[in-house]
Amino acid sequence: MKKKIKAISAKALVLTFGIGTLFSCVSDKDSPGLEWMPDMYRSPAIETYVDYGYVKERTDVEKTMKQSAKHPPMNTIPYYGKVEDLEMMLPYHRQVASSAPVTHGLQAKHGWKISEELNGDYEVAAEDKNPIVLTEENQKAIFDQGKKLFKINCVHCHGEKGDGKGPMVESGAYLGVPDFANLKELADGQKFYSIYYGKGMMGAHAPLLKNKEIWTIVHHINKLQSKDYGVGNVTEEEVSDSTSVEIAEQQ
């Protein structure tokens, strides 16, 4: 009996060792060899913009159709920043046009404030003043920052000069982008409103930009519309091309 157990355990030992050796040997010296249950060491990363419908040669069509990146819950506000910026972090109080659920996908069930009016609060938004007040000291940094944000988020449609001739328009992919030179009468509050909620073919930027960033861009648009915009005598040259001002610095 004892002999039998010994023989079995010896066989088991050889087998285990043999299998172990087999699985650990692969020709690529950078490869860890064959892995048992690789998910144990390499958990599938849950990240934004990843298509979870496709996992290791398996395609789950239903999941492929689902959005992996979601908007943050409505009215989420950052918990950092300066006290004087607090008001800008609070949820925007203006209501969006009644058509927005259809035209811009902004649903009341997600917390968007939908008006019963066709134009929403667009007209009254003209009363809203830019809470970022320009001074001689801060304006250069604000213009630089606005230019930078505009470059990242808007130039592909609106063009660097704001003439409505961005690469997407030039390529023929997009139509109806206005020249800011023709919108000089547009109040700051309405610019904010349209950027925040979107307008016509332009999508809503509220999920992409903080209110403070939108107001900063509004200053930049004003600068594009009028070279003299700003405190004192600001010439175009004084507003540098530098994009070195970090976003963090403004927050």
**Residues making contact with ligand HEC (CB under 6 A):** 153-154, 156-158, 174, 176-178, 183, 186, 190-191, 194-195, 199-202, 205, 217, 221
CB of 153 to ligand HEC, least distance (A): 4
Closest CB to ligand HEC among residues 131, 178: 178
Closest CB to ligand HEC among residues 132, 217: 217
Write phi, then psi, for 157 (nearest 5 degrees): -105, -50
Closest CB to ligand HEC among residues 113, 191: 191
Closest CB to ligand HEC among residues 140, 205: 205
Closest CB to ligand HEC among residues 104, 113: 104
Closest CB to ligand HEC among residues 53, 225: 225
Region for 154 from its dihedrals, namely left if φ exceeds 0, alpha if ψ lies in -120 to 50, beta otherwise: alpha
CB of 41 to ligand HEC, least distance (A): 42
- Whose CB is nearest to ligand HEC? 200
CB of 176 to ligand HEC, least distance (A): 4
CB of 192 to ligand HEC, least distance (A): 9
CB of 33 to ligand HEC, least distance (A): 49
CB of 143 to ligand HEC, least distance (A): 14
Residue type for 130, please? N
